[in-house]
Each structure stands twice: as C-alpha cells, then as structure tokens.
C-alpha cells in the first residue's frame, strides 16, 4: 500500500487545500470531565497549547483531565508557517504565572504534565528562568507529578539550556518539526543544526533525562529526508520520536502537500524502531504531548529492561 495519499486539490485564494481523508478525525468533546477540565483551566487563568494551537486531540485529552500548558504568554516572537499561535510583540513576563500553573496542575490532579512555551527571542535567556521557576513550583505543589518540558531552541541564548536542566525535568523535548531543506520556508527563525545540538547537549549535561523530538509529515518532505533526520536524532542520542500529520491551521499557513496513510505511519514507526529509538509514536493524530503520561511510564519500563 502506498505510504502517501495525494487527494484532488481544492483551490482557494490563499493556498491549495487538500480535503481531509477519513482517518483524520477528532472527537467532539461533551463529557462532564471535559467541562470540569475547561473550568479548572479557566479558573486558573493559564494558557494551554491545546487551545492556542487548535490541537485535534483537545477533546480526547481534556476528557481525561490532561492538558499541556503554554507559558510566557500567548504571543510568539517568530512566525513559523505551520503554527497557529499568534505572532507579535509579547507582553512582559507574568511573574505569577509559574505559581498559577503549579496550582492548576495540582487541581487537575495530573500525574504527568507537559510545559511548553512560545518563542521569546526578546528575552536575554529566552525564558529559561521562567521554565525553571515553573518546574520548581510544580515540584512543591505536587511532588509526585512527573514533568516534561517542550522548550524553544534558545537560539543565541548561551547558558539557557543549563538553567532549565538544573531544575531536573523528567523529559526534555525539543521538536525539529521538519527536515533541513524545508526550514527556510517552514521554520525560518530556527536553524536545524542548532535544534539538533540542543537535544545532544541536553543528554550530555543530564544523561538521565529522557530526550524527545518530533516531526510533522505532509509538508513535502521525502522518505529519504525523514530517515536522515532519524539518523541525526539517534546520533544526538534522542530516546523518543513522535511523527504526526501536519494539519493546516488556516489557508494562510503552509499548505498540506501530502496525507500520509496510517499504514505509512506504521512503516515509519518500524523504520525508526530499527534505528534504535527507545520509543516511537507514529500516527496521523500523534502530537508531542498526546498520551505523554502513558508514554513516560513506558519509557521508564523500557529503560529498566534495557539496563537489566
């Protein structure tokens, strides 16, 4: 079966839009747990990437009281072609935000939490200290909660990675997002090898941390390019790889070039596992924080088996 599906294109003024295949579906939220999660998040006055990035898994995750928090505001200093978060000049950091996030984590009763952020190129440390404060306060509020951070690339922010790792997150995640050839058009404010280096450095600085990265597929990358990125990530000793289908947030964002079939994602999973990743999550609706808590427990079990 072909790994890539090329449906008929529908033309519009901004870009060409590919109609979604039947396997791209997200459930409509309706449960009492979903409503409770929404109320807790609203009361906590915190920002979630679930909402800001228009995640297709929002209904499923909030129905399980899972949420991914986005710190340092809702405005990013970069304008990536795939991202639905607004771009502009951010406001000053809210010094009370780390506390509010920690209390919301506690009120949700999270066993595992993912903390991500917008890019803050306007800050001297890229927001590293804000990450650190958030981790520390979550540890105080709910000591048993494991913490995963999905950080920016801290481009030209020397020492920032060390600040984050000093607070000892359980998982350090930084997404490469796409293949090197597409960086200029898809992720123009970033540099591929800088992103790769931050993952390698994280493992060097804190060998016990699980490292993680992800790619969006369907932006026009080739199979050979995907496999080369896998090799690059393994050279950086990355433990966990996520692969998911890129979904165009609006017609002004980068167009979808291909829909990869579920079978195609399964084949990429087999390839990635053969290259030595400790864990691989690969499906059309896979996202960095989707099932992150369950995946963390599996990672720990796999590491135990690997060392025994």
pLDDT tens per residue, range 73-106:
989 999 999 998 889 999 999 999 999 999 999 9
Separation CA 156–CA 147 (nearest Å): 25
Does the pLDDT value for residue 1 go beyond 90?
no
Does the pLDDT value for residue 117 go beyond 90?
yes
Per-residue model confidence (pLDDT) at position 303: 76
Per-residue model confidence (pLDDT) at position 156: 95
Per-residue model confidence (pLDDT) at position 36: 77
Interacting residues of 96 by C-beta distance below 8 A, sequence separation 6+: none
- Beta-strand ranges (E) seen in the chain are 4-5, 10-11, 16-17, 68-71, 75-76, 86-87, 112-117, 146-150, 171-173, 210-217, 240-245, 259-260, 279-282
User: Residues 44-67: what's their mean pLDDT?
Assistant: 63
Among 116-130, 182-196, 241-255, the least confident range: 241-255
| Angle (deg, nearest 10), helices 97-108 and 128-141 | 40
Portion of the chain with pLDDT greater than 90, in percent: 65
- Hey, what domains does the chain have and what are their CATH numbers? 4-307 (3.20.20.70)
Interacting residues of 300 by C-beta distance below 8 A, sequence separation 6+: none
pLDDT digits (tens, 9 = 90+) for 241-256: 999 999 998 889 999 9
Separation CA 33–CA 266 (nearest Å): 31
The three-state secondary structure class of 265 is helix
Does the pLDDT value for residue 168 go beyond 80?
yes
For residue 254, give Cα distances in angstroms to 73, 130, 175, 185. Answer: 24, 31, 18, 8
Q: In what order do the strands lie in the sheet with 171-173?
A: 68-71, 112-117, 146-150, 171-173, 210-217, 240-245, 279-282
* Cβ atoms 218, 256 nearer than 8 A: yes
Does the pLDDT value for residue 163 go beyond 80?
yes
The three-state secondary structure class of 277 is coil
- Which has the higher per-residue pLDDT, 74 or 63? 74
Specify the residue for token string 């898809």. 186
Which pair of structure tokens corresponds to residue 279? 């864990």
Specify the residue for token string 């692969």. 243
| Residue 254: its H or E element | none
Interacting residues of 173 by C-beta distance below 8 A, sequence separation 6+: 114, 148, 149, 150, 151, 211, 212, 213, 214, 240, 288
* pLDDT averaged over every residue in the chain: 87
Residue among 264, 244, 257 nearest 1 (CA): 264
Angle at 300 between CA 297 and CA 301, to 5 degrees: 90
Does the pLDDT value for residue 154 go beyond 90?
yes
- For 54-63, give one letter per residue: b (16+ CB within 10 A) or e: ebbbbbbbbb
Angle at 9 between CA 8 and CA 14, to 5 degrees: 170
The three-state secondary structure class of 227 is helix
- Which has the higher per-residue pLDDT, 158 or 47? 158
Among 194-198, 243-247, 254-258, 300-304, the least confident range: 300-304
Among 65-69, 117-121, 200-204, the least confident range: 65-69
């Amino acid at each position: 079966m072909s790994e890539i599906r090329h449906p008929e294109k529908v033309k519009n003024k901004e870009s060409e839009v590919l109609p979604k295949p039947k396997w791209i579906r997200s459930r409509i939220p309706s449960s009492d747990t979903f409503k409770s999660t929404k109320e807790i998040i609203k009361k906590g006055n915190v920002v979630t990437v679930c909402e800001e990035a228009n995640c297709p898994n929002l209904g499923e995750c909030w129905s399980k009281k899972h949420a991914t928090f986005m710190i340092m505001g809702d405005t990013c200093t970069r304008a990536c072609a795939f991202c639905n978060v607004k771009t502009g000049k951010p406001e000053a950091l809210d010094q009370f935000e780390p506390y509010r996030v920690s209390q919301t984590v506690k009120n949700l009763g999270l066993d595992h939490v993912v903390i991500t952020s917008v890019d803050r190129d306007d800050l001297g440390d890229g927001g590293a200290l804000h990450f650190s404060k958030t981790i520390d306060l979550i540890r105080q509020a709910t000591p048993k909660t494991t913490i995963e951070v999905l950080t920016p690339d801290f481009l030209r922010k020397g020492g920032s990675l060390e600040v984050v790792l000093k607070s000892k997150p359980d998982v350090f995640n930084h997404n490469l997002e796409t293949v090197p050839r597409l960086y200029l058009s898809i992720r123009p404010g970033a540099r591929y090898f800088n992103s790769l280096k931050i993952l390698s450095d994280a493992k060097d600085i804190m060998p016990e941390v699980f490292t993680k990265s992800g790619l969006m597929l369907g932006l026009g990358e080739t199979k050979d390019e995907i496999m080369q990125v896998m090799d690059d990530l393994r050279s950086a000793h990355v433990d966990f790889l996520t692969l998911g289908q890129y979904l165009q947030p609006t017609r002004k964002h980068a167009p979808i070039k291909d829909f990869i079939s579920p079978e195609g994602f399964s084949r990429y999973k087999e390839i990635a596992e053969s290259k030595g990743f400790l864990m691989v999550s690969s499906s059309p609706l896979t996202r960095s924080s989707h099932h992150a808590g369950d995946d963390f427990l599996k990672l720990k079990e796999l590491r135990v088996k690997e060392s025994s």
